[in-house]
Amino acid sequence: MVKRNRYLSCDQHTLFCNIWVTSFCNFSCKYCYESTDKPEAYMSRETADQTIQFLETVMQQHYDGIWLNFHGGEPMLNAKIIKYIAGEMEHRGYSIYTSMTTNCSVRDAEICDYIDELTVSLDGDQTVHDRNRVTRTGKGTFQIVIDNARFYLEHAENTRLRMVVRSDTVSDLALGVQYLYGLGFRVIIPGVDYFDPDWTETLFDQLFEQYQALHRWRIANVHEEAIIGTLDEKIKPRGKCVVGCDGYQIAQDGKIYPCTYITGKPEYCIGDVRSGIDPEAVRRINCAVQQDVPACSGCANIPYCIAQRCLILNQQLTGELTTPSAILCAEENMKQKLRKYIRETGTGDTHV
């Protein structure tokens, strides 16, 4: 549970790799940052074998263990390749840890044997969830998702729940978390949608109030261990992301990228599982992402802020590597305010 929230770096001897087993998704969530155009492309068995070979080469050079996260599109639409890669790596004697986030459209009991940490996406009760998480024909997905999410909660050992919080769902956050806790989820991770252009200062005040309400609710009502995303997030120095050290994204066609947000963008490609890493591409991108962010000069949050660590995210949000997004900045400030509130009113138990 803790593993997923940490930031890996070169000296941890664990290679992180995000494997995109398909770019296709059967849902069409209104906020999907992967765009509406999701080609029906799947990782083939041949590319999976080449991916395993690439990983073995990298592992032998530098690492003791590997953390494989399976990604999409919707990764369960290519479950056979997930099972194949995880099974092969284990069979070859590597120390592996596996994770995946699913939209819960597919129920497959067998996948629980291959995934150590499964995250299901569910935004709250039916009204809230169906506001944004819809099928390709625009129908709400709650009914199918809730049945499968409960199935996985029962059958998978570590099931987490991921909620997306937007300008049109923020006022329902506290009740949503309470509802999901009532269903049995004990790791609930709300995440702000940075790509939603309708966030305002007032809505961030509302977000703060929602977390305050959740904190009070938890003190009064929750007597089992429960992790609730931002409430329990440890604020710690992040350091800059280093391309080539902080893990790889391997796309379904075998091309390699440094970061989830730009997987598939040719200008960010740093290699291919068949030919290996292109050191010149790594150097070029590292030079760009190691820059300072002058607009933040003097801010006390600099060591902790994601806008400092992830310049590629800045670029995706604002068009400029060194221009942080106002939404991201507002969230970082809200988190600091929340920590102070929890310190002043809390139980001192942060469950981290």
Site of interaction with ligand SF4 (CB under 6 A): 25, 27-29, 32, 34, 72-74, 103, 296, 299, 301-302, 305, 307-308, 324, 328-329, 332-333
Q: Tell me the angle at which helices 201-221 and 326-345 cross, rounded to the nearest 10 degrees.
A: 30
Q: Where are the beta strands (DSSP E) in 241-294?
A: 248-250, 255-257, 271-272, 276-277
Characterise 35 by phi-psi region: left (phi > 0), alpha (psi -120 to 50), beta (else): left
Contact 34, 253 (CB under 8 A): no
Least distance in Å: CB of 308 to ligand SF4? 5
Nearest to 180 by CA among 149, 154, 157, 209: 149
Nearer to ligand SF4, 194 or 217 (CB): 194
Least distance in Å: CB of 151 to ligand SF4? 17
- The tokens describing 280, both together, are 């010149």
Least distance in Å: CB of 109 to ligand SF4? 21
Cα–Cα distance for residue pair 286/331, rounded to 1 Å = 26
Nearer to ligand SF4, 215 or 309 (CB): 309
Nearer to ligand SF4, 322 or 350 (CB): 322
Cα–Cα distance for residue pair 192/331, rounded to 1 Å = 8
Contact 102, 74 (CB under 8 A): yes
Least distance in Å: CB of 248 to ligand SF4? 20
Nearer to ligand SF4, 32 or 226 (CB): 32
Nearer to ligand SF4, 319 or 348 (CB): 319
- DSSP string over 170-187: GGGHHHHHHHHHHHT--E
Nearer to ligand SF4, 8 or 296 (CB): 296
Nearer to ligand SF4, 260 or 286 (CB): 260
Least distance in Å: CB of 164 to ligand SF4? 8
| DSSP structure class, residue 36 | S
Least distance in Å: CB of 169 to ligand SF4? 14
Nearer to ligand SF4, 29 or 81 (CB): 29
| DSSP structure class, residue 135 | B
Least distance in Å: CB of 333 to ligand SF4? 6
Least distance in Å: CB of 345 to ligand SF4? 23
Q: What is the 3-state secondary structure (H, E, C) of 49-105?
A: HHHHHHHHHHHHHHCCEEEEEEECCCHHHHHHHHHHHHHHHHHCCCEEEEEEEECCC
| DSSP structure class, residue 16 | E
